[in-house]
Amino acid sequence: MSGHTDNAVVIDAPLDLVWAMTNDVARWPELFSEYAAAEILTEDGPTVRFRLTLHPDEQGRSWSWVSERMPDRDALEVRAHRVETGVFEFMNIHWTYKQTPEGVRMRWVQDFHMKPDAPVDDDAMTERLNRNTAVQMRLIKEKVEAAARAGASR
């Protein structure tokens, strides 16, 4: 059995701005509330390998991992996966963007499997990811829409 999530949000902003802001990995700590740092490790064309570090947890521990993103601007999609998988056997994420009359529909589909010794199983991680994704998407929507209202052209 594996875990799977599928979440989306519609952002009332120009597609170019949504794409630019959500694919600027170095600035993710400004866009996501959960990341304390994003360090770009390598870039090869549009592919970026980076380390994300979470804010410290209740016990003061800071968690980090390395991921790789392969954006395809023409297809309006990004494929990503964890390189350092941590508690996951694997973690793959597929981002898609679609222009709609209401704005840009940004969708994240995550497929993963937890390691046998992970502190949670696939079902518990699915619940955790669905809960956190809703929070992060809401924040991203607010920040990108605010940038659009302010006339940002990133």
Q: Is 133 helix (H, G, I), strand (E, B) or coil?
A: helix
Q: Which pLDDT tens digit goes with each residue over 15-61?
A: 999 999 999 999 999 999 999 999 999 999 999 999 999 999 888 88
Domain 3-149: what homologous superfamily?
Answer: START domain (3.30.530.20)
Domains of the chain, residue spans: 3-149
Q: What is the mean pLDDT of residues 111-140?
A: 96
32: DSSP letter:
-
Over range 53-81, report the average pLDDT: 94
pLDDT of residue 144: 98
Contact 51, 65 (CB under 8 A): yes
N- to C-terminal Cα separation, the chain = 41
> Residue 139 — pLDDT band, cuts 50, 70, 90?
very high
If you average pLDDT over residues 68-75, what whole number do you get? 98
Can you spell out the DSSP letters for 49-86?
A: EEEEEEPP-TTS---EEEEEEEEETTTTEEEEEESS-T
* Token output for 2: 């594996």
Calculate what percentage of the chain has a pLDDT beyond 70. 97
Beta bridge partner(s), residue 71:
78
Res 153: pLDDT: 52
pLDDT value at residue 61: 84
Angle between helices 122-149 and 15-22 (to 10 degrees): 130
What is the reported pLDDT for 60? 86
**CA separation for the pair 40, 10 (Å, rounded):** 28
Confidence of residue 152 (pLDDT cuts 50, 70, 90): low
Close Cβ partners of 26 (under 8 Å, ≥ 6 residues apart): 38, 40, 50
- The pTM score is 0.93
Please report which residue ranges of the chain form alpha helices under DSSP H.
15-22, 28-31, 122-149
Segment 67-73 mean pLDDT: 98
**Cα separation, 87 vs 114, whole angstroms:** 6
C-alpha torsion angle, residues 1, 124, 98, 23 (rounded to 10): -110
Residue 154 has pLDDT above 80, yes or no: no
